[in-house]
Amino acid sequence: MENARTERLIDKIWKSEPTIEGAGVHLKRVFGFHELPMLDPFLLLDDFRSENPEDYKAGFPWHPHRGIETITYVLDGDVEHGDSMGHRGDISSGDVQWMTAGSGIIHQEMPKGNKKGQMLGFQLWANLPSSSKMMDPRYRGIKKNEIPIVATKDGATVRIICGEINGTRGPVQDVVTSPEYFDVELPAGKTFTHVVKENHTVFAYVIDGEAYFDHLRTPFSHDASGKNYFDMSPSCPCRDGTLVLYKKNGTHITVTTTDRSVRFLLVSGKPLNEPIAWYGPIVMNTQAELRTAFQEYQDGSFIKNR
């Protein structure tokens, strides 16, 4: 009964939707502007996966960011990148780029895919509090071999980008929103349990397979967006491309598989509870700050640190 009282339940689920971003990149938008502020401090999550280079080769040419962090996690293929701080290189399979834009950075990301033309990765935007929006930019390029992999006693395999599992910590630390970012693989017939921080926003995004993300195992215990108004057969297990947003109360989350395995991203962070003024790649607290950012971009004073 203790587990039932303290387990976090699902608040809402929905499916990612196709969209076009950058210079013509076809991807799936998991959440963004329209879901604010449900996922505070997180702003956006994009799923870019394709076996057709025409879907992604136009990429994301030079563009500015201010007031946020962008976290790019590549599972397959390569993404060529460069920025106004002088960093150049590739984000390759298994690598992470954790970029804190702070006061301002200009960068580009150009997906290249793998030798077969396949591309699979994710980009998450995390907001910065007002006190940190004009901090010095910083860049962390994390290679695959720097990301620890742990096996839990219940059979899960977890790649720890940020946060801690069984005493093992990920390479990304000292982030103001105290985030966790895990890539979890769970075989069929297994259960994964993870303790989460009180009042932190917690969500999971299913990459592959299917699972139950709370013990109720019913689609009618939470809000869900159906395929259409007459969708009378909602799915009970959460499948590939599904975002699972948890309620704020509860000490842990529990994920259970039956006859299929599952792979999902598990992300959490401390809500900022601050006003948001957002236009394109700039996220500030007020419209005046937005106007200042775009004016500085126009007059060449946007970059404070080179």
pLDDT in tens, the chain (306 residues): 444 469 999 999 999 999 999 999 999 999 999 999 999 999 999 999 999 999 999 999 999 999 999 999 999 999 999 999 999 999 999 999 999 999 999 999 999 999 999 999 999 999 999 999 999 999 899 999 999 999 999 999 999 999 999 999 999 998 989 999 999 999 999 999 999 999 999 999 999 999 999 988 766 556 666 555 555 455 568 999 999 999 999 999 999 999 999 999 999 999 999 999 999 999 999 999 999 999 999 999 999 876
Max alpha carbon distance in the chain (Å)? 62
Burial of residue 145, with CB atoms counted within 10 A of its CB: 0-12 exposed, 13-18 middle, 19 or more buried: exposed
DSSP 137: P
User: How do beta strands 25-31 and 138-142 pair?
Assistant: unpaired
Whole-number pLDDT of residue 1: 41
Cα–Cα distances (Å) from 304 to 67, 85, 135, 195, in that order, read 13, 10, 10, 40
> Rounded CA gap, 279 and 22, in Å?
14
Whole-number pLDDT of residue 226: 59
> Rounded CA gap, 44 and 233, in Å?
29
User: Is the separation of the CB atoms in 180 and 267 below 8 Å?
Assistant: yes
User: Is the separation of the CB atoms in 220 and 256 below 8 Å?
Assistant: no
Cα–Cα distances (Å) from 6 to 194, 199, 203, 226, in that order, read 12, 13, 17, 28
User: Is the separation of the CB atoms in 211 and 238 below 8 Å?
Assistant: yes
Q: Is 293 helix (H, G, I), strand (E, B) or coil?
A: helix
